[in-house]
Amino acid sequence: MQTDFLVIGSGIAGLTYALKVARACPDKKVTIFTKTTSDETNTKYAQGGIAGVWDNENDSFEKHIEDTLIAGDGLCNERTVEIVVKEGVERIKEIIEWGARFDKDQDGDYALGKEGGHSEFRILHHKDVTGREMERALLEEIKRQPNIEVITHCFVVDIITQHHLGYLVTKSTPDIECFGVYALNLRTKKIEKIESGITLLATGGNGQVYRTTTNPVIATGDGVAMAYRAKGRIENMEFIQFHPTALYEAGVNGQAFLITEAVRGDGGILRNSDGEAFMERYDERKDLAPRDIVARAIDNEMKRTGTEHVWLDCRHMDQEKFIHHFPNIHEKCLSIGIDVAKDMIPVAPAAHYSCGGIKTDEWARTSIRHLYAAGECASTGLHGANRLASNSLLEAMVFAHRAYEDAVKKMKDTSGIEWGNWNRDAIPDWRTEGTTAPKEMILITQSLKELQLLMSDYVGIVRTDTRLERAMRRLDLLHEETEDLYKTTEVSPQLCQLRNMITVGYLIVKSAQFRHESRGLHYNTDYPYKSEQVQNIVL
């Protein structure tokens, strides 16, 4: 297969970019690959909303920039922050034009919410299902665009570079070039070779590396692992954001239901097992302190009191307003016997967001030519050591737009892409010789459990050198076993995902080991202070 613009991922980043390049180049072919259904993405689960400066009387770009920098704890790229905050409002207006509906107040103005770390009310939302609404609007626009093809159930396995033509490619190879991808078509069970002009990785997050996460099962860090294997630059992987308030359900592992931070924005209070509103002991911003602080405080309270969760108390809140703003949460709680008017909600932190990822520049370009990255899989410099709530949908749209501008310019200026001197006709088909059907799925499922357990136990909210060393030793073994399996077994999404998640685990642990300080989301009790030297960890 050949395509002009290849997009891997059908979340907010992939869809926004695809729509824009398709409209700008109606004579070009745009192909979107997604590994399950088109809407099964992290985007669909976004609850709280999207941050943007709308209230020009009380809010300003400066304030949003300042809040983002404070949350990022000294590691944000200030230029990126300015770009996202200033260009973000235009991008939100665009998605509104495409049909996304955000809640309004009685006067017909947008109802703005507040979340941790925000000094003003600036979060646009659609009830408590903002992401679902944005994904819906985007997919409907995509359907109307004739030169876009969405191919579902197609698992991208690897990025094709000159390595596949037999050349040695290392991290220091100057012009690594992306020619396309190999992808496993889950309908035919065959691996296909797809040649592309320009490729965008929009593969989302990696929460599934942990035992409990707010992320759906698709969030396995495939894009980051593929870019790393292709010798692209990966940055700041140690900064995994744990959302403070995932619903705690005894015995439930995997995807945990999120209780949006907007609930605390509307007055919800965290209490420990003694009923104490403990956040005032940790930070003067109490329940609305940035996420790293709240998650660490909860973790500490749980360890101190020997409990598996704390409580979110909403009993004092206006119940009519609660049901109006948070119908999905209300319904979910009722379904498990919790009446928020009378009962407190059990909550615990869960892996939520990857602040680091594939290193990109101002135009979403990766270190590999013709390969862009946007959305959660990218590290643009916006989040630094900790992401400010509701900044991620915004970032995804801003950098999808920037990728589109740069990619279209390249496609048009040179009437085609300037290729290096490679013989693309020589790219080999995927080789399956020497592999057999998997004999025992348990070899994959058990390794996955081991991985998630070790990441949660040793590489969670609080880290130590010893825990990181242990994690690395166990990861080495899992890596060795899984590579053996990969060489001898027919590829399956389960096996590829396991392999990718082990790579992501390795990148998180290695980056954490390199960071000899505690900053933002990375807290190591062996180095409890911030170092004076401010640096990004690039692998």
DSSP string of 8-44, one letter each residue: E--SHHHHHHHHHHHHH-TTS-EEEE-SS-TT-SHHH
Within 376-395, the residues that bind ligand SIN by CB under 6 A are 389-390, 392
Least distance (Å) from ligand SIN to the CB of residue 389?
4
Least distance (Å) from ligand SIN to the CB of residue 124?
12
Q: Is 291 among the residues known to form the active site?
A: yes
Q: Which of 396, 444, 509, 512 is the binder for ligand FAD (CB under 6 A)? A: 396
The letter for the amino acid at 245 is T
Establish if 214 lies at the interface with ligand FAD (CB under 6 A): yes
- Helix, strand, coil percent content, the chain, rounded in steps of 5: 40, 20, 40
CA 142/CA 415 separation, integer angstroms: 25
Contact 203, 43 (CB under 8 A): no
Q: Of 241 and 272, which CB lies nearer to ligand SIN in the complex structure?
A: 241
The region of 5-13, 170-178, 284-292, 401-409 touching ligand FAD under the rule CB under 6 A is: 5-13
Establish if 41 lies at the interface with ligand FAD (CB under 6 A): yes
Instruction: Count the Cβ atoms, other than its own, within 10 Å of residue 409.
Output: 12
The region of 78-86, 168-176, 254-262, 444-452 touching ligand SIN under the rule CB under 6 A is: 254-262
Q: Which of 3, 31, 43, 367 is the binder for ligand FAD (CB under 6 A)? A: 43
Judged by CB under 6 A, how many residues of this single chain contact ligand SIN?
A: 9
For 313, phi and psi rounded to 5 degrees? Answer: -100, 115
DSSP summary character for residue 256: P
Q: Any bridge partners for residue 181, and if so which?
A: 159, 194
- Both tokens of 11, joined, read 């979340």
DSSP string of 265-299, one letter each residue: HTT-EEE-TT---GGGGT-TTGGGS-HHHHHHHHH
CA 275/CA 109 separation, integer angstroms: 38
CA 52/CA 124 separation, integer angstroms: 7
CA 35/CA 2 separation, integer angstroms: 19
Q: Which does 50 bind (CB under 5 to 8 A by kind): ligand SIN, ligand FAD, none?
A: ligand FAD
Establish if 503 lies at the interface with ligand FAD (CB under 6 A): no
Least distance (Å) from ligand SIN to the CB of residue 47?
4
The region of 31-39, 67-75, 87-95, 233-241 touching ligand FAD under the rule CB under 6 A is: 31-39
The radius of gyration computed from the CA coordinates of the chain, to the nearest angstrom, equals 22
Establish if 194 lies at the interface with ligand FAD (CB under 6 A): no
The region of 297-305, 385-393, 445-453, 472-480 touching ligand FAD under the rule CB under 6 A is: 385-393
Out of 122, 132, 291, 402, the active site residue is 291
Q: Of 232 and 346, which CB lies nearer to ligand SIN in the complex structure?
A: 346
Q: Which of 40, 177, 261, 395 is the binder for ligand SIN (CB under 6 A)? A: 261
Least distance (Å) from ligand SIN to the CB of residue 401?
19
Establish if 47 lies at the interface with ligand SIN (CB under 6 A): yes
Q: Which of 13, 92, 262, 403 is the binder for ligand SIN (CB under 6 A)? A: 262
DSSP string of 155-211, one letter each residue: EEEEEE-GGGGT----TT-TT-B--EEEEEETTTTEEEEEEEEEEEE-----GGGSS
Q: Of 133 and 261, which CB lies nearer to ligand SIN in the complex structure?
A: 261
- Both tokens of 313, joined, read 């108390």
Within 47-66, the residues that bind ligand FAD by CB under 6 A are 47-50
Q: Of 160 and 262, which CB lies nearer to ligand SIN in the complex structure?
A: 262
Contact 452, 210 (CB under 8 A): yes
Helix, strand or coil for residue 240?
strand
Which residues bind to ligand FAD, rule: CB under 6 A?
Answer: 8-14, 33-36, 41-43, 45-50, 130-131, 155-156, 202-205, 214-215, 218, 222, 258, 353, 375-377, 390-393, 396
Which residues bind to ligand SIN, rule: CB under 6 A?
Answer: 47-48, 260-262, 353, 389-390, 392
Active centre residues (catalytic): 291
